[in-house]
Structure 1
């Protein structure tokens, strides 16, 4: 949902560098084995004077390496997804066709949240289909602000207006409070 934080960016950079290094080592190993590169004798033992492991151990190690690689790739791909996607709601009636981006629907709520006392920044994301939407809020509040006060004002004013505007009885809401720091950046 939010922009990348410095430790997360460093984490991804280091993981990408390690991944590239491992790919290079794997490519070198394969090129040596298939005699594309002649820098090392492919028949020479890695550790001299040690018996090679049984064949099943090599297959098990290769299988585990592939599994770990696939899990790491899945994790890396999951890092690219920043947050839930916001759908476009479509409604066809006798009067015509209407489309509404769910993010457009919650933009006024995010703007209203920014006006609450103690709120530094706010972001709202509406996900799910029209008949079962879910609201995710990230609210950055000042250090001396009370999250309970902000939550009560949201429940008394903001959420009822949103439900009325969307013509919904309920909107399940997930609220994440963060405290503003001197280096807090905008959530936009």
Structure 2
């Protein structure tokens, strides 16, 4: 459900490795463990100071890179599809009904939490009424029967949600996760 997550993790790992290698190279050169470069030699040729505008460009570029990195970091936290408000208008003269997508799936997720073996459930209803999509994350206990949980979702809960929202079909993506907690239910 979070397609760019794998690419983001790979890029973060590569960038982290490159930065660690560069830092290690700098430290090893400074403490003379590596004798590839003389630590007393100048970093750039010449001793004259560059024009003042160079410092401003470097500072602006550093700020831009920092903001982009912060935006990328914040994007890692947003892992659920964007939901919205659905409007039910049959005749604007009589008013309209608005339903927030999170409110629409709240009873659905509460029902899923009551299933045997289900520890936690969360759902995100995205898209429009014409093209809805449901992203479902079900956290189950280690000994849960995933086949039975999936069957109950597709044969019992999902049809009730479709009927409540007056939809013919809701494409659903189900992600099962396992909890490391021991069960506290008495069965």
Into which bin does the TM-score normalised by the smaller protein fall? Answer: 0.5 to 0.7
Q: Which residue of 2 aligns with 1:114?
A: 113
In the TM superposition, 1:13-52 aligns within 5 A as: 48-50=40-42, 52=44
Deviations 1:8-60 (A, max 9, x none): xxxxxxx9xxxxxxxxxxxxxxxxxxxxxxxxxxxxxxx544472599xx9xx
1:154, 1:138 → 2: CA distance? 12
Alignment RMSD, CA only? 3.1
Q: Which residue of 2 aligns with 1:124?
A: 123
The normalised TM-score by structure 2 is: 0.60
User: 1:68, CA displacement in angstroms?
Assistant: 5.1
Secondary structure of 2:161's match? helix
1:106, 1:167 → 2: CA distance? 13
1:156, 1:51 → 2: CA distance? 68
Q: Which residue of 2 aligns with 1:164?
A: 163
Structure 1 unaligned blocks of 5 or more: 1-14, 16-46
Deviations 1:159-178 (A, max 9, x none): 11111111112111111111
User: 1:66, CA displacement in angstroms?
Assistant: 6.9
The normalised TM-score by structure 1 is: 0.60
User: 1:71, CA displacement in angstroms?
Assistant: 4.2
1:146, 1:179 → 2: CA distance? 11
User: 1:80, CA displacement in angstroms?
Assistant: 4.5
Q: Which residue of 1 aligns with 2:90?
A: 93
Contact kept, 8 Å, 2:121 with 2:137, in 1: the verdict is yes
Q: Which residue of 2 aligns with 1:73?
A: 70
Secondary structure of 1:178's match? strand
In the TM superposition, 1:1-20 aligns within 5 A as: none
Structure 2 unaligned blocks of 5 or more: 1-15, 17-38
